Amino acid sequence: MALPQALENYRKQYRKIKLFQDVASVLHWDSEVMMPEEGREYRSSQIAAVAELTHDWMTDKSFLNQIQAAKDSIKELPEFERSVWNRELEVLMEEKEKADKLPSEFVSEFARVTNLAHGEWATAKKEKNFQSFAKRLEELVQLSKKQADYFGYTTEPYDALLDSYEKGAKAEQIQILFSDLKESLVPIVATAPKFKNPFPGPISLEKQTKFCNRLPSLLGLTTKESRLDTSNHPFSTSLGKGDKRITTRYSETDPLSSIFGVLHETGHSLYESGLSAMPDWPTPMTEFLSLGIHESQSRLWENQVGRSLPFWEFVYPILLSDFGLTDKELPFKELYQYINSTEKTKVRVEADQVTYNLHIILRFEIERDLINGKIQVKDLPEIWNTKMKESFGLSVENDAEGVLQDIHWSMGAFGYFPTYTLGNIFSSQFFKKFTEEFPDSHNKFSTKGDFSDLLGWLRKNIHSKGKIFDVDTLMKQTTGESANSKYLISYLNGKIKEVAK
């Protein structure tokens, strides 16, 4: 049955906007993976131009008229169809109203500055010199505060930025959740066993790349729709239907860094691939629900799967072959214990699954105070190092392993960090429900490397839902209850008991 013309018109304009947003993603991906260093300044202008163009299309009055005409055209549709369309147009209007609050010149400037900032951050990190990045970071903080003012807030500026990643979330609520979680994590960290690196020597990047390239396809992301590259900081991005990009970084002394980077980013891309498979893609309903849900997908594949015994029972002989090692040189038990070792580290992306959340809490506290004006950019290294000492008992030797280690602030992504721990909470709850429904899944994992039941469950219960429901409704429909951190604590306690045997 053909759609009313008004709905066709609205979707045509929406898809043009989406198309150019994907063009911007191509420019961003290339700037982080392939672009020569001297191209940064002009590339920032290209990205700014596309961002301003898509923003103008989104906020143009003619698009609002198309949306209103679409609303009017569905009044005669059957009730169920009308409710579906109402939800789609409601989701779009929320996005549009947010875009309407930002002037075009601000959107262009924000896109330009963040692209320049990425290159400057990468150089500052390489040189271990925060001061060379401080001026640009101050500019980003001021732009982010201005963005918060444009969006508006009731209690604090940080809430406005947090809402962009996790709709409806409030910093005060996150603070309470994290405080309770930290209280539960501290005794786990204190009793968790630590295991040394079992690799007999450096593993070449060539050998690691060979093994890492196997992982996306193993989990269900085929080489026909994805590719793996190297970048300063692991990330994934969707460039459109059938085109998902993953990056990782390599350490010859600890190959697990690249392996878990790939598993994490594959989880993101599997979610995006599932969204792209939704009927009528792209529409406002086929976008990811929240960053917390997005991170739940990456953390689930990285931790609940990637650190599980069945997973390593299957990939262990493949890893030995690719790395040119024997089981005597790299005993399975020692490897598996190291994979699940708990040890305080200075670098978040190298942190184990227990202490990782403490890293997120540290960043949340700092960036909240930064945006709310309680601390200054110039004081960040000292504040960071002090908190690292208080939370981890570790001394930071240089800015690269301290305040410069993460890419997020160079992206202007203030409010992103809390979604990682929310993702850990969601993923533990999702995986618990999956194993209840598929109690034999571990046998398929270990004997066949078959993860299709899990991917199918995620496709059915999460990926195919897009933005149809809000987060709380999705959690209740999928797991039977609202998000509950007890599943994360239970999972971590169980893992520690398993490896301590």
Q: Which residues are catalytic?
A: 265
Cβ atoms of 164 and 101 within 8 Å: the answer is no
Ordered DSSP codes for 356-383: HHHHHHHHHHHHHHHHTTSS-GGGHHHH
Cβ atoms of 159 and 170 within 8 Å: the answer is yes
Angle CA(153)–CA(380)–CA(292) in degrees, nearest 5? 50
DSSP assignment letter at 2: P
Nearest C-alpha neighbor of 452 from the set 212, 273, 217: 217
Q: How many CB atoms lie within 10 A of CB 152?
A: 11
**What pairs with residue 228 in β-bridges?**
246
Rounded CA gap, 74 and 432, in Å? 40
Rounded CA gap, 447 and 313, in Å? 8
Rounded CA gap, 272 and 487, in Å? 25
Strands (E), 37-133: none
Q: Say whether the peptide bond before residue 187 is cis (omega within 30 degrees of 0).
A: no
Angle CA(17)–CA(19)–CA(20) in degrees, nearest 5? 70
Cβ atoms of 188 and 496 within 8 Å: the answer is yes
Rounded CA gap, 133 and 122, in Å? 9
46: three-class secondary structure by DSSP: helix
Written as six digits, the tokens of 158 are: 């940080």
**What pairs with residue 227 in β-bridges?**
245
Ordered DSSP codes for 262-311: HHHHHHHHHHHHHHHTSTT-SSGGGS-S-HHHHHHHHHIIIIIITTSHHH
Phi, psi of 236, deg, nearest 5 = -135, 155
Alpha carbon distance, N-terminus to C-terminus of the chain: 61
Written as six digits, the tokens of 470 are: 């809000």
Cβ atoms of 304 and 491 within 8 Å: the answer is yes
Q: How many CB atoms lie within 10 A of CB 2?
A: 6
SS (H, E, C) 156-197: CHHHHHHHHHCCCCCHHHHHHHHHHHHHHHHHHHHHCCCCCC
The size of the chain, in residues, is: 501
- Side-chain-side CA neighbours of residue 382 (13 Å): 5
